[in-house]
């Protein structure tokens, strides 16, 4: 993914951490419970209504984090929620991986949000076939990349690198072996006391495991 020109100022910092990022691996990094979107109760009730909607019919089984979960005054909170949202997919409604990025646009600058446009086809279509057959959704977790990957470039500019792993949960309770692991680099700027994602890049960390990368 191409970063907007405004992020060129980060180049020096990116070069300084690139070797650390390339050699880090999130598979060995412990994840806390805070890094996982919790599994919700079976049903949720709308305010003012006596009816309840099965969680399975809600996006991600009502387990996905949302922009409101981020403390926008804290760069690490903003980066973690953005990383989780970028890897939160529901095969019942999402046509491409970019659908998750579109949902994450409230955490982005206006210019970077405008770059989140879904392509004609899903680049991971083959990996999504089995999960889609079972109306599955992803359950991601994110931890800081090992080493000195995070950089505070300036008081209002920062780079955060997180290792993200995910598994698929089938709505019909079929066990799915597919998992994935990626590293996401987020470029953030603070504007009016609020951190915005002004660019991000991802790269796969592992080969296909159980049909899913």
| pLDDT digit string, tens, across residues 119-156 | 887 766 678 999 999 999 999 999 999 987 899 999 99
User: What tens digit of pLDDT does each residue of 26-71 get?
Assistant: 444 444 444 544 433 333 333 343 344 565 568 999 999 999 999 9
Tell me 2's DSSP state: P
| Of 37, 83, 35, the residue nearest 62 (C-alpha) | 37
- Mean pLDDT within 164-182: 95
d(CA 28, CA 41): 30
Tell me 90's DSSP state: B
Q: What pLDDT score was predicted for residue 110?
A: 98
Least confident of 1-10, 65-74, 77-86: 1-10
Q: Whole-prediction pTM value?
A: 0.75
Mean pLDDT of the chain: 79
- Cα distances from 28 to residues 65, 135, 144, 164, in angstroms, run 24, 30, 11, 12
Q: Which residues contact 190 (CB under 8 A, 6 or more apart)?
A: 75, 155, 156, 157, 158, 196
Tell me 61's DSSP state: G
Q: What pLDDT score was predicted for residue 147?
A: 86
- Mean pLDDT within 15-31: 44
**Other C-beta atoms lying within 10 Å of the C-beta of residue 126:** 12
């Amino acid at each position: 993914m191409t970063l907007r020109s405004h992020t060129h100022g980060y180049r020096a910092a990116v070069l300084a951490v690139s070797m650390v990022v390339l050699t880090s691996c999130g598979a060995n990094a412990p994840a806390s419970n805070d890094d996982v979107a919790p599994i919700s109760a079976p049903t949720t009730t709308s305010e003012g209504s006596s009816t309840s909607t099965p969680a399975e019919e809600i996006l991600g089984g009502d387990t996905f984090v949302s922009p409101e979960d981020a403390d926008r005054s804290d760069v690490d909170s903003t980066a973690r929620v953005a990383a989780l949202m970028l890897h939160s997919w529901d095969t019942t409604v999402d046509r491409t991986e970019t659908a998750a990025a579109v949902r994450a646009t409230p955490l982005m600058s206006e210019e970077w949000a405008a770059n989140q446009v879904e392509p004609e086809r899903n680049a991971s279509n083959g990996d999504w076939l089995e999960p889609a057959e079972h109306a599955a959704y992803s359950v991601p977790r994110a931890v800081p990349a090992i080493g000195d990957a995070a950089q505070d470039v300036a008081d209002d500019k920062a780079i955060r690198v997180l290792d993200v792993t995910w598994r698929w949960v089938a709505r019909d309770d079929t066990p799915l072996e597919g998992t994935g692991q990626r590293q996401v680099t987020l470029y953030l700027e603070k504007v009016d006391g609020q951190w915005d994602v002004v660019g991000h890049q991802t790269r796969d960390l592992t080969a296909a495991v159980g049909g899913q990368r």
